[in-house]
């Protein structure tokens, strides 16, 4: 009975973590380019002094790995000429004021007062030649971005436009290894490998869509289904603990 008691406790802990992941997914259903995740479980076994015999009874469950879902989110049209969505596996490259490099799928960009293309954090979007900046912050009346990331600025009466630069996209040997940060940002780790940068449409990065944003890939119906099964699993584990406690009380009563 003691074994079932502690097995039930491990199930409570694991399902609590799983519910936290589900809650995070649901909370970010409207977050631009958010990627949902799931929590994988693994069983626990006891090992005797003589090693494994093949007849070990399980000792419960543990959370093994948080697995991100890198599937493409739906593309939604916007009215902002500097909104960009990625159709493919690439990531936008941005840098903060200290030169630290980060990666994001959220393409809600705008030009700041100095003419730099920045994200909502104020981090500068990187192009093939570094920072992307308008040469004339007062004369440009409209912006165009084609599918391969070339930004063209148009002034009043100018039909040919002036090329600002080309947006760079990054890919990684293993997206699963990327470090997830706040503010829709990712960073490289030893597991992800180094970033390979190229223009949209090359190097497996995918193309970009102008005046569009990638939506969250979280499916509410799926998450609600997971929430129900996780809740039932939690309740069942609690019942195991209660039943084990009642059996222990009965044993103590017999002794008395």
Going from the C-alpha of 84 to that of each of 105, 132, 150, 224, 249, the distances in angstroms are: 9, 14, 12, 30, 64
| Model pTM score | 0.81
Q: How far apart are CA 175 and CA 189, in angstroms?
A: 10
In terms of C-beta distances under 8 Å and separation of at least 24 residues, what long-range contacts does 113-116 make, across chains too? 113/137
Q: How far apart are CA 244 and CA 256, in angstroms?
A: 19
Tell me the mean pLDDT per 10 residues along the chain, length 256. 79 91 94 92 70 69 88 92 91 92 93 89 90 74 85 78 88 91 92 91 87 94 93 89 79 70
**C-alpha atoms less than 13 angstroms from C-alpha of 116 in its C-beta half-sphere:** 16
Q: How far apart are CA 47 and CA 27, in angstroms?
A: 41
Q: How far apart are CA 215 and CA 185, in angstroms?
A: 15
- Domain limits of the chain? 2-71+224-255, 75-214
Going from the C-alpha of 140 to that of each of 79, 154, 170, 251, the distances in angstroms are: 17, 5, 28, 83
In this prediction, residue 141 carries a pLDDT of 67
In this prediction, residue 19 carries a pLDDT of 93
In this prediction, residue 186 carries a pLDDT of 94
38 close to 21: Cβ distance less than 8 angstroms: yes
């Amino acid at each position: 009975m003691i074994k079932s008691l502690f097995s039930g406790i491990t199930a409570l802990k694991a399902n609590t973590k799983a519910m936290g992941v589900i809650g995070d997914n649901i909370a970010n259903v409207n977050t631009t380019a958010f990627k949902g995740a799931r929590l994988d479980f693994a069983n626990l076994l006891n090992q005797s002094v003589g090693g494994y015999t093949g007849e070990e009874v399980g000792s419960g469950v543990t959370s093994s790995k948080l697995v991100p879902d890198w599937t493409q989110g739906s593309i939604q049209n916007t009215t902002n000429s500097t909104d960009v969505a990625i159709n493919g596996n690439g990531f936008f490259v941005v840098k903060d004021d200290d030169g630290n490099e980060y990666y994001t799928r959220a393409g809600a960009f705008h030009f700041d007062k100095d003419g730099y293309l920045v994200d909502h954090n104020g981090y500068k979007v990187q192009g093939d030649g570094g920072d992307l900046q308008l040469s004339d912050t007062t004369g440009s009346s409209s912006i165009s971005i084609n599918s391969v990331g070339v930004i063209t600025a148009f002034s009043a009466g100018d039909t040919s436009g002036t090329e600002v630069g080309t947006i760079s996209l990054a890919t990684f040997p293993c997206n699963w290894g990327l470090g997830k940060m706040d503010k829709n940002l990712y960073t490289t780790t030893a597991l992800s490998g180094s970033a390979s940068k190229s223009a949209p449409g090359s190097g497996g990065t995918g193309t970009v869509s102008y005046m569009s944003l990638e939506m969250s890939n979280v499916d509410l119906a799926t998450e609600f289904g997971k929430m129900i099964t996780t809740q039932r699993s939690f309740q069942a584990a609690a019942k195991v603990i209660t039943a084990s406690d009642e059996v222990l009380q009965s044993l103590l009563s017999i002794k008395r």
